[in-house]
Chain A
Amino acid sequence: MERYVAKVTVTLKHEVKDNRALVLDKMLKNLKMEDSPNFLTGRFYSFCVSAQNIDNAHKKVNQICAEVLSNPVVEKYEINSLEALK
């Protein structure tokens, strides 16, 4: 068994209003730093899984994201990276 580290972000689906992002957009505009920053907010997770190979690790991470870390009704997740621990 090898150990893999996954880095995952969970964000709201496009059709769900992201209130925090709207506030940040407005703030940056008011500060005259950026006119349309188009923020997207979410949650970041980093965690380790044990698996025999990278494919199995990928399946395991997908299952954890879908069943534990996100609610598929309103959220989507993205696996940013999955690497073997040295």
Chain B
Amino acid sequence: MKAAVVVFLGTNCEVETKRALEFCGFEAEYVDFNAKSLVEYDTVVLCGGFSYGDYIRAGRLAKFTSVIDALRKYIEQQRGVTVGICNGFQVLCETHILKGALVENDSSKFICKNVELELSYAGYKKNISLPIAHKEGKYICFEDVSEYEFLKYLKNPNGSMYDVAGLYDKTNRIMGLMPHPERAIFAKNFGYDGREVFKIIKEEIKRG
């Protein structure tokens, strides 16, 4: 399985995301923000960081890059699974690929800690623990998106509506999440629960 790790100016989680994907059995490579096509990849991962310095809004300026045009075609063709982690989730919301928007946390503070989450996938539920690190992570949507939620905060740290930590689009082929699964893969990290998220990505790819 081939994975693309999209790198914008200001992205800073690409190394650990690529390493985590490789550990979980993907053949991962970095893809520049100037990329014109993504069709050769089974999954495209937009990782964390501060793309374009978070100027205007977090994730806003990435919207105007050619890799996002390529991503729109990739989604239209239903080629593979798109994943946005942290800043990647913000990019997916700013581009309106996923519903809603992410605004400043209720505390107005940058929150960096491990949180307890409920993971739901295909009728299966599990409590997991993953690290979060964000200031603009409060999810807002004026439509009911609870049926698309796959990751839910058990103790909401930022004021997210419906306790959303991660959600799908209606096709289940686009996933956005604020916690960092790539930081919970190895013993030296925040536990091993990040592997569960990469397992879901693999299952979604196999499902076709």
Contact = CB atoms under 8 A, between A and B. Distances in A.
Interface of A: 12, 15-17, 19-20, 23, 43, 68-69, 71, 73-74
Given A43-B56, A74-B101, 14 more contacts: A12-B103, A16-B140, A17-B159, A19-B104, A19-B107, A19-B108, A20-B104, A23-B108, A69-B56, A71-B60, A71-B94, A73-B100, A73-B141, A74-B140
A73 B101 contact: yes
Contacts, number: 33
B142 A71 contact: no
7 contacts: A19-B104, A19-B105, A19-B106, A19-B108, A23-B108, A43-B56, A71-B94
Interface residues of B, number: 19
A74 B139 CA distance: 10
B101 to A, nearest CB: 4
Interface centre among B93, B103, B141 (most CB of A within 10 A): B103
A68 B56 contact: yes
Interface string B60-104: 100010000000000000000000000000000110100011011
Contacts of A17: 106, 159
Given A73-B100, A74-B101, A20 B106 contact: no
B57 interface: yes
A17 B106 CA distance: 8
Contacts of B159: 17
A43 B55 CA distance: 11
Contact of B140 (A19, A43, A68, A73): A73
B101 A71 contact: yes
> Which 6 pairs between the two chains have the least Cβ-Cβ distance?
A73-B101, A74-B101, A19-B108, A71-B101, A74-B140, A74-B103
A16 B138 CA distance: 11
Interface centre among A23, A68, A69, A73 (most CB of B within 10 A): A73
A16 B103 contact: yes
Contacts of B101: 71, 73-74
Contacts of B64: 68
A78 B93 CA distance: 22
Nearest to A12: B103
Interface string B138-165: 0011100000000000000001000000
B65 to A, nearest CB: 13
Contacts of A73: 93, 96, 100-101, 140-142
Contacts of A74: 101, 103, 140
A16 B93 CA distance: 16
B28 to A, nearest CB: 30
A19 B140 CA distance: 14
